[in-house]
Structure 1
Amino acid sequence: MKLDAKIFVTGHRGMVGSAIVRRLQSGGYTNIVTRTHAELDLLDQRATHEFLRTEQPEYLFIAAAKVGGIQANNLYRADFLYRNLLIEANLIHGAHLAGVQRLLFLGSSCIYPRDCPQPIKEEYLLTGPLEATNEPYAIAKIAGIKMAESYNRQYGRQYISVMPTNLYGPNDNYDLANSHVLPALLRKAHEAKARGDAAYVVWGSGAPRREFLYVDDLADACVYLMELGYEGPLVNIGTGQDVTIRELAETIMNVVGFDGRIVFDSSKPDGTPRKLLDVSRLAGLGWRARTALQDGIRAAYDSASFRI
């Protein structure tokens, strides 16, 4: 990518989009285009297509999405399916109509079958049933991946898809009702410490294993692939290492400085037993994550909105 190339980053106020903007800025890119929801509603096909025709970006990062944890995915199933389908369809088709040749679509590791072999290879996509609690979100993301592949095949575009593992970092969502597991536990541990509680509650059994990637590492990988000119099949982005939810909870306790105990609420769902991505494809392209889990959690805690 040329340093003066026009780059449109959607979802720039979110955790992923803001990290991509930070990475582009630190890399010397000077022509970054962003729009708030009030300025451009990506659910509006006409407005989205008109914007892309007018602005003519050379590169497009699709980081805009409706996201949430297990509870949000399970409660707002129609919203997750409808909104994500519209956002990606409007942007991918609109980019094609506007002549945008390079595009990066961000999926999610929940697209893979619930019980597929570990670590998860990219080719396991569509080989088995999805995890029921986030099936609508996963189906929407799979549709986005297939859209990108189909526009490449039919029209010769260079639209790539990446599959990040569980993310965390600056600008994360710390709403206890709708957030993912790591930010939720970080806030719970902080508030338990502030109240002087003897314990804090963790959903599920603590046995499931999860992989966590610091969001600035994800942004670095996305920009790396665009700079590389990669135009192959979807790419997993992760660390290649996972921990149990119990181990995660204990690490968070150490970072926060909470010396109580953990109580597991087994009445709440565990979700997928394990989600570890095979990152050998990305490693073969020359990229690996750099941020250790405890270091990343500390950086996330230092910048957490509930502490400001």
Structure 2
Amino acid sequence: MPEQLYDLRNKRVWVAGQSGMVGSAILRRLGREGCHLLRSSHAEVDLTSWEQTEAWMAAARPQAVFMAAAKVGGIHANDSYPADFLHQNLMIEANVVEAARRHGVEKLLFLGSSCIYPRLAPQPIPEDALLTGPLEPTNQWYAIAKIAGVMLCQAYRRQHGCDFISAMPTNLYGPGDNFDPLGSHVIPALMLKADRARREGAAFMEVWGSGRPRREFLHVDDLADAALRLMTHYSDESTINIGAGEDLSIRALAELVADVVGFEGELRFDASKPDGTPRKLLDIGRIRALGWSPTIPLAEGLAQTYEWFLQNRPETREHPRRSRAPAVALPLSAAFAQR
């Protein structure tokens, strides 16, 4: 295993975006590292504002930063708010990276997204596929902003000697995921639909797309472990992939989600709706060489995520199952999106 390059013990550590799914998972993981965790919220600091970001960084003086803050969403959200996705993400990453340089942050990890890779990249996708072809149009605004974040870290390393690194996680899921019907990604969107269909006794549920695209999914707690491994054992300007190492079709995913939720009806795929990228599987050979591998099987992670959803949705009490009824139209089809 490569030697440890950076020790987090007794360091002042800030997770930007710590209220989100990824940030909260990293906070949980850092709780075992003997470091001093800096707490922040959007009410305290708006990271799209340079003045607020710089002032907070000057006062808090973090030594290590996990950059997990971002405006995220699925196909519907990206298509509806392209300017917001591009502008807000550019501002967040530019403000945090520059403030980190000005205030002497020792190490920064920028978390991007696998959607930065070309739509038709080779599979599994190696890190050097970046900027070798056109992006997937359904999330190009977010992807361009994340590519800019990768380049920022590379530029600050070259010009200022900053130990800033970047990583590209695959599709993430887990406790704390976004279950907003109009902004969620594929797993929470499918869970919402399957849960409603089960409770209403629907004969079928509709899924956007053909079901043929293949996707890779990583539990957010595995991502948190990977982020810690990179922060302590990696220092290079090249971005590095974080993935599960295997993928499955959207059809197989929908069947697995239905099984976890307990929906026994038919799945109907609407091929008139967009599929997004045909396949997206990351090559994770480089991070495996650093001693990290995913540990949470998809079925186990989905069951854990659904349990979290049941405990945290507005209606926290389970509804009794109804007898089988005629098929119902589920208005959540707009939420189905996968990067």
- Number of aligned residue pairs: 307
| Residue 6 of structure 1, aligned match among 3, 6, 12 | 12
- Cα distance in 2 for partners of 1:142, 1:229 equals 20
Specify the alignment match of 2:327 in structure 1. Answer: none
Give CA-to-partner distance per residue, 1:194-243, whole Å, 9 cap, x none.
Answer: 11111111110000000000000001100111122533521100011000
Equivalent residue of 2:257, what SS?
helix
> Does the 8 A contact of 1:10 with 1:34 survive in 2?
no
> Does the 8 A contact of 2:153 with 2:237 survive in 1?
no
- Cα distance in 2 for partners of 1:302, 1:28 equals 27
TM-score after normalising by structure 2? 0.89
Specify the alignment match of 1:79 in structure 2. Answer: 84
> Does the 8 A contact of 1:3 with 1:30 survive in 2?
yes
Give yes or no for the alignment of 1:157 onto 2:158: no
Give yes or no for the alignment of 1:203 onto 2:186: no
How far is the alpha carbon of 1:3 from its aligned partner?
2.4
Equivalent residue of 1:151, what SS?
helix
- Matches for 1:279-298 after TM superposition, within 5 Å: 279-298=284-303
Specify the alignment match of 2:329 in structure 1. Answer: none
Specify the alignment match of 2:230 in structure 1. Answer: 225
Which sits farther off after the overlay, 3-12 or 238-247? 3-12
- Matches for 1:109-188 after TM superposition, within 5 Å: 109-188=114-193
Q: Which amino acid aligns with 2:186?
A: V
Equivalent residue of 1:8, what SS?
strand
Specify the alignment match of 2:54 in structure 1. Answer: 49
> Does the 8 A contact of 2:8 with 2:35 survive in 1?
no
> Does the 8 A contact of 1:15 with 1:172 survive in 2?
yes
Equivalent residue of 1:240, what SS?
coil
Specify the alignment match of 1:100 in structure 2. Answer: 105
Specify the alignment match of 1:252 in structure 2. Answer: 257
Give yes or no for the alignment of 1:21 onto 2:27: yes
Q: Which amino acid aligns with 1:4?
A: N
> Does the 8 A contact of 2:205 with 2:268 survive in 1?
yes
Give CA-to-partner distance per residue, 1:162-207, whole Å, 9 cap, x none.
Answer: 1000000011001121100111001111111011111111110000
> Does the 8 A contact of 1:42 with 1:87 survive in 2?
yes
How far is the alpha carbon of 1:56 from its aligned partner?
1.2
Q: Which amino acid aligns with 1:115?
A: L
- Cα distance in 2 for partners of 1:269, 1:53 equals 45
Equivalent residue of 2:95, what SS?
helix
How far is the alpha carbon of 1:31 from its aligned partner?
1.1
> Does the 8 A contact of 2:215 with 2:280 survive in 1?
yes
Bigger Rg, structure 1 or 2: 2
- Matches for 1:271-282 after TM superposition, within 5 Å: 271-282=276-287
Q: Which amino acid aligns with 2:29?
A: R
Aligned alpha-carbon RMSD (Å): 1.1
Q: Which runs of 5 or more residues in structure 1 are unaligned? A: none
Equivalent residue of 1:60, what SS?
strand
Q: Which runs of 5 or more residues in structure 2 are unaligned? A: 1-6, 317-339
- Cα distance in 2 for partners of 1:152, 1:28 equals 26
